[in-house]
Chain A
Amino acid sequence: MNNVFQSRNKARTTVYHLRDVTRDRASEGVTFRLRVPSLQIAQGEKIALIGESGCGKSTLLDMLAFISQPSDIASFRFRPEQDKDAIDITRLWKKRQMNRLSELRKRHIGYVMQTGGLLPYLSVRENIALSRSVLGLGKDDTVESLAHELGIARHLDKLPETLSVGERQRVAIGRALSHQPSIVIADEPTASVDPFAAEKIMSLFIGLAEERNITVVVASHAWRHIKRLGLRRLAHHTHRSKDGRTTETVVNG
């Protein structure tokens, strides 16, 4: 299976290209370090990052979404559009070009959070349309058809607080897809839903992404749910120093 992917990857553009990217985080005297010696994600690829919480999955996703600054970078290139040159993310971070980074994020990336992330004062329809409205995209039936596919069409005019957790996660997925991004990043999107619903939501999500040829990076602690969906599992290992002061997670792929 892996071999098939790799051979296909050569024909496709590499969306993310990271080399020696680290992020340190200190908490209660323990340093958590995430190290990515090398990572390449191709256009349309579906990546799964599996591991216990606290191992640094979220940190990697946040760096890929440009909402968390790496502590040290050798190279970090992002190429959302195949017909254009890769963008040097390292330089943008160094120059603190936050607006440029948020521009890239709103144009090319959809993000599904573990819980919520919906604005409580907007209706489901407005929440899904938010990522479109930020981009200044006009009104069409994207929101409605997404809601239909996600099975939440009858909730469009309700506020998120009236929805179940699972329904809210569907809305969050809708928002991450409605502006037609080329990449969707999802951080444990089904962790707070019961296993049965989780499986359903996850396959719905991957299916929608597949139809749209969207690159997906999803973090989860349950490989069992998603291995059937044909995702590439990213290799990583975590080890703790003898004095217990540092925990390092290394991700390669």
Chain B
Amino acid sequence: MRLFKTLRLASRDYGHEWQMSACFVLALAAVLGPMLVLFGLKFGIVGGMLDQLIENPENREIRPVSSGRFDTEWFAAIRLRDDVAFLVPRTRSIAATVELNSDKVGRIVRAELIPSGIGDPLLPDDGPIPTGATQVVLSQQAASKLNVVAGDTVDGSVTRRFRGKRERVHLALTVAAVAPASAFARDGAFVDVRLVEAFEDYRDGRAVSAFGWEGTINDDPRSYPGFRLYAHSIYDVAALSRHLGEIGVDVRNRAADIELVMRMDRNLSAIYWAIAIIGLVGFSLSLGASLWANVDRKRKDLSVLRLVGFRTGDIMWFPVTQALYTAVLGWLLATAIYFAAAYAINDMLAEQLAAGQQVCKLLPQHFVLALTLTVGAAVIAAALAGWRSARIEPSDGLREL
């Protein structure tokens, strides 16, 4: 009841001096608002870049620089590593094409064959992957040229020159799915490794017993000139590449890009924190100073309350209540400033951004954190000032003004 009385009086005073109160709120928002925008930009830009890096499987890919000779044992050994997410052999690139034809269009599409399998990072996690020797997942471009959708059948054919004659074999391939546009930008077909091997064997003039294709018999152990290798995360790329280098495989990767963004994140974070800490200290000091000065200004009124019998403990709630109003209203205004600025910035750069991407972005917990800091600093400053003014003799407070 006593506390309620103090709160009521403090609220009345705050409302009575609304111009002064508005100044305190504006002063608070003027510091907090830009800080939120600054943090939003840092979070949005670097966070977006990192997300893109992490989400984009291309950044996890490690490619051999030149063709080598990798046998099945080599693949088995590399697959055992923890940092390897996906590894399949590649055949010679010259042999890795297929001519596709569908009933619906009268044209032949030459598609690159991409050896694939379970866990292919280029294909959606929940979508079908080519299993079985006659399933394909077409790139979007190839699918639209052939005018086919998942479930359709396309004719795949390859040619060879064998014993002086030009030969061609056909294979009915089921379209298991159409890959998202981001997976492969050209005409391509994700297929099981065995199908790529079969086409290569056929081109080389070897017999492929699985499809009844004739040719010479060759039992030499197979070796592959290349591979498709993806590390588990962008952070594994450097170590995995180093390991490959140590065992004599020169590779290319996006480590430089990754390192650049990570360094930028570190640098921006350091700069941001420097600004944020300076800002926060300045913000706390300015908030504290203005609240302190306000309590000093009100010392006579507070002494009057003590004169009519308010207790010291009750008196402290007076500035604390008003500081809470200032903190919450200032925070609300700062949040409004932030949203206006963020909207303007994101709108301005919308054309250069992917859908849903934002340059200026904050999560709900960031606002909660800002509110907590503001209220904390305000309450501490006001409580200290209130305590100080409650400690001086009321007679001094009454007469010093």
The chain A residues found within 8 Å of chain B, CB to CB, are 58-59, 62, 65, 67-69, 98-99, 102-103, 105-107, 111, 113, 116-122, 130-131, 133-136, 159, 175
Contacts and interface: CB of A to CB of B under 8 A. Distances in A.
B395 A68 contact: yes
B15 A121 contact: yes
A58 B399 contact: yes
Contacts of B393: 67-69
Given A99-B312, A106-B308, A67 B395 contact: yes
Contacts of B15: 121
Q: SS class of chain B's interface: helix, strand, loop or mixed? A: helix
Interface of B: 1, 5, 9, 12-13, 15-17, 300-301, 304-313, 393-396, 398-399
A138 to B, nearest CB: 13
A121 B301 CA distance: 10
Contact of B395 (A62, A102, A116, A120): A62
A131 B309 CA distance: 8
Contacts of B310: 102, 134
Nearest to A104: B309
The 7 closest A-B pairs by CB, nearest first: A106-B309, A121-B16, A62-B395, A68-B395, A67-B394, A121-B13, A67-B395
A102 B306 contact: yes
A110 B244 CA distance: 91
A105 B311 CA distance: 11
A111 B307 contact: yes
B13 A105 contact: no
Contact of B17 (A113, A121, A135, A175): A121
Contact of B398 (A105, A117, A131, A135): A117
Given A98-B311, A111-B307, A119 B398 contact: no
Contacts of B309: 102-103, 105-107, 131, 134-135
A133 B307 contact: no
B363 to A, nearest CB: 40
Q: Give the most central of B12, B305, B307: most A CB within 10 Å.
A: B307
Nearest to A115: B401
B308 A113 contact: no
A67 B306 contact: yes
19 contacts: A65-B307, A67-B395, A67-B398, A68-B394, A99-B311, A99-B313, A102-B309, A102-B311, A105-B308, A106-B308, A113-B304, A113-B398, A116-B300, A117-B304, A119-B305, A121-B9, A121-B15, A134-B308, A134-B310
Contacts of A102: 306, 309-312
Given A105-B307, A134-B308, A120 B5 contact: no
A139 to B, nearest CB: 14
A131 B1 contact: no
Contacts of B312: 98-99, 102
A134 B304 CA distance: 12
Contact of A119 (B304, B395, B396): B304
A120 B16 CA distance: 8
Nearest to B310: A134
Contacts of A131: 308-309
A62 B393 CA distance: 10
A234 B301 CA distance: 31
Nearest to A69: B393
A111 B307 CA distance: 8
Contact of A133 (B5, B17, B396, B398): B5
Given A113-B398, A119-B9, A175-B308, 17 more contacts: A59-B395, A67-B393, A67-B394, A98-B311, A99-B313, A102-B306, A105-B309, A117-B300, A120-B301, A121-B9, A121-B12, A121-B17, A133-B5, A134-B5, A134-B310, A136-B1, A159-B16
